[in-house]
Structure formats: C-alpha cells, structure tokens
Structure 1
C-alpha cells in the first residue's frame, strides 16, 4: 500500500480526537456536580483525605463503570484549598476499582512533588484541560500511561484536577488497527515523544519530531498530537 495522503491522515486524526473526546466526556459531566459537592462540604473548613475519598468515590466509580473508552483509573486530586491533611489524591483504578492509598502523599514536600506533575501543573497554570504523556506512572499503575485532566475551578479558585488514565497498551488496541490500515503510522505528542506506532522500528517514548520525520504529518486541532504517515 502506498503512502498515506493528507486527507487519509486527517480522517485518522479525527479518530484520535473522537477517542479523547470520549475520555473527557464523563469528566466534563462530573465537573458541575463535584463543584456543588465541594461548595457544600468545604463551607466550614477543608476536608481530610479520607473525607475527600468518601465524597468522590461514587462518581469516580461511575466513570470507570460507564466509560465507553478503556479507562484504567479515575479520580480527583485536590488543591491545598480543599484538603487540610492526608491524601489529596482520591483515585481508583484497575478491574477491582482499588483505592490508591499511600502515606507518601499529604502536606509538605510530598504534596509539593505531587502538584509538580504535568497532569496537575499544566491545568493549574492554564485553566484548561490537558493530556499528559506518555509516561511511566510510578504513582498509580506502574504502566505507560496517558492522563487526561480537567481543572476544577470555582469563583476563580483552583481546587485541583479531575483525571482519567488510559494505558498506552489499551490505546494501541483501540486505535492502531484503524489508524494504520496496513501502513506505518506514528502518533507523537507536542514534545515529539512517540505515543503509539505501527512501525516496528519505533517505540513508545522515542523522540521523533514531526519537522524531521519522513512522510506526511497532520496535527490535531483539539489535542496535543500529530500523526505521522510513511
């Protein structure tokens, strides 16, 4: 099969956009209800980590149970305006919907390290949704992961982010058959890191800038991805 045309890559990029639209959809639907819940529960003071987990458990489970995308984990990472002590990350993942719990989270240096992560830091800075990765998620799954995050903002106050994780292995299964159509294609992020590829010589995490890659390149207008076709 010959090289992919720009039109064919445009159509393929639309499949990528539709996939991530589906990842963000349940987060966008959850956001208003979460803000209402936080308004009522934090009126007299901030929450503890355990109180936060109790508050958002049902909604996080609904995202995992109802998502029509292969979402591996979902939850809420609260800012210091919401959580006074304990774990600011209320996060559930995997088939058993296990709660991520660790004494390494909380006030002080551990909390500072947590909020420096891209999926938290960028929405905090920009006030916009963000897709981070691929990265090895040592915090949660220990797998190569893409994290989609939405800032939680009320009355100009940043209250944290709600997120959903998709494992790169699941992303490959969901997208590569439709994207490749028998040819070598590679999806890279805004930093030139390979996300997924049907090229056997290219691996997730490799750096492959669109400007220097051979073939045709088409970028998404909604998400930080470019699709390279041989």
Structure 2
C-alpha cells in the first residue's frame, strides 16, 4: 500500500531526518567500538584478558558519558560466553537513576553475577538486546522498557554485534539511552504540520509521541499496522481508517514514524 498520487500526507521526511540525527551518530560510535574490540581480540600472539578488555571499554564509555548531554545512561561491551565467559564490561553514568548518587561526571561499573551456577545468575543471551543482533548480524534498538537491572527508568538499548575474523561472534557493544531525555530532544523537532507524530519500535510500542494520549511503552493500535511492521522494505504508506495516517520506516534504526490527525 503506497501513497496514491495527489494524496495529502504529513511531511514525515523531516521527522525521519530528526530521528536519524539522534540515533545514527550513536550507532556510528558503536561501530567504532566494535572495530576497536575486534582488533584487540584479533592481535596475533596475544590473548585479550578481562582486565585489559575492561580498561579499553571503560576508556571508550567514559568519553561517551562526557559528551552525551544526558542521553547516555549506560554503555559497554557484553561478552559471548564462548569468548570471555559470562562477562559484562558495562558502566553506568552519573545521570543514571541507578548509579548510586554519583556526580554527573562519575561512572561506575555494573556489578552482575557471572557464575552460571549461582542462583541469581541471569542468561543475558536470551534477552532481546543480545538475541536479535546475534541472530541478524545487524544493529538493533530494544525498548522502550523499564530496565530494572541498569537504569530503573524507561530505556532504549542500542546494540551491535562484534565479530572476530568476520564470522566468530565474540559479543555485543551497546549504549543505553534515556527515553525521557530523547523525548525532550525530539518532540520539539517532530513538526508535521499540526498532526500527531508517534515514533514506534518494530513491535508497535510507542517510543515518543506528540500526542499526549499515547504514553511511552503503550501499544499503538491502528488497522493495518501489524502488517506494515512485518515488512522493513515498504516505502511510505498510509494506514488506519480512511488512510488518515502515514507510516514510514526510519532508515536502519528499526524504528518507524506514524503521523496522523491532530490529537483531540
């Protein structure tokens, strides 16, 4: 279902560009991190141990927290079990609600149970932020969800797989973003001629919206939306009763923008 000639739709292209301005630079940094970790892991004659890995990752994420303007609340590398065992080289920033009162410039390492024999151990390879990029080999956005492990607030987790030798999965690099801060940054830029603009994830859940009736994490319900979300190749389309809404994927982010009538 494509937009028919002459059909008037909201200017979602500008909204998509605004969304890309927020997320594409984050994924670009993750690609740089993945390259650095891969090169360190692939050095001939040397075995990368946990201490060396943690120092490398801490240096990367510390610079990220310094430049994040409050959006980045967690970041790091998570090892594949066959690479370095069950290990999270992950840090929380001072603006993270779960970071224990650190100053804004401070960071702390996330302490987790890494022994699978312990009762409180959690298999992170079953979680979406690991499972999807490990299966697809592509960038992925998980959320919004309340991250009780790391943030205690609505979070988006951006992850990217890391390979050694081009084929051996050794882990994922990732960044947690505060949905509240993203909303503050994005909503003023989501101008679509007075109509409501809603950013949703691939499951149809609201990330941010200019419609005050749509809360973060709520499921957007529109006729035809489920079918559109099943096909990442679709161009801009219309949906809903009377084709009153437009739908457009936001590049390679895995997010989509839906624009429709002005909120009542």
Say whether the fold is shared (TM-score over 0.5). yes
Of 150, 170, 184, 2:196 maps to 184
Cα separation, partners in 2 of 1:115 and 1:16, compared to 1, 3 Å: same
Is 1:61 the counterpart of 2:62? The answer is yes
Q: Who is 2:245 aligned against?
A: 215
Q: Once the 2 structures are TM-superposed, how far is the Cα of residue 43 of structure 1 from its aligned partner?
A: 4.3
Between 1:213-222 and 1:116-125, the stretch displaced more is: 213-222
Moved more, 60-69 or 167-176: 60-69
Paired residues in the alignment total: 221
Q: CA deviation at 1:62?
A: 1.9
Aligned pair 1:166/2:196, yes or no? no
**TM-score (norm. length: structure 2):** 0.75
Q: Secondary structure at the match of 1:22?
A: helix
Give CA deviations for 1:85-123 in whole Å, capped at 9, x if unaligned. Answer: xx6111112222111112x33435766621111111111
- The match for 1:105 is 114
Alignment of 1:65-76 (within 5 A): 65-67=66-68, 70-76=71-77
Q: 1:68 to 1:39 in 2, by over 3 A?
A: farther
Query: Does the CA-based 8 Å contact 2:145-2:156 persist in structure 1?
Result: yes
Q: Are the counterparts in 2 of residues 53 and 90 from structure 1 also a CA contact under 8 Å? A: yes
- Please state how far the C-alpha of 1:163 moved relative to its aligned partner: 0.3
Secondary structure of the residue aligned to 2:11 is helix
- C-alpha displacement at 1:83, in angstroms? 1.8
Deviates more, 1:172-181 or 1:33-42: 33-42
Give 1 or 2: higher helix fraction. Answer: 1
1:122-147 deviation digits (Å, cap 9, x = unpaired): 11111111111111111211111111
Unaligned runs of 5+ in 1: none
Change (3 A) 1:160 1:111: farther
Task: Report deviation, 1:216.
Answer: 2.2
Deviations, residues 24-75 of structure 1 (Å, cap 9, x unaligned)? 121112222211222349944x744x55423421122122223478222110
Q: Which of structures 1 and 2 has the bigger CA Rg?
A: 2
Structure 1 pair 123–158 and aligned structure 2 pair: CA distance change class (3 A): same
Q: For residues 156-211 of structure 1, give each alpha carbon's deviation from its aligned partner in whole angstroms, at most 9, with x where no partner exists.
A: 11001000111110110110110146542111111111111121111111111452
Instruction: Determine the structure 2 residue equivalent to 1:143.
Output: 153
- Match status 1:16 vs 2:28: no
Query: Where do residues 120-131 of structure 1 align in structure 2 (5 Å cutoff)?
Result: 120-131=130-141
Q: Distance in 2 between matches of 1:217 and 1:197?
A: 14
The aligned residue for residue 225 of structure 1 is 255
TM-score, normalised via structure 1 length: 0.85
CA distance in 1, matches of 2:13, 2:40: 41
Alignment partner, residue 215 of structure 2: 203
Q: Within 2, Cα distance between the matches of 1:7 and 1:131?
A: 25
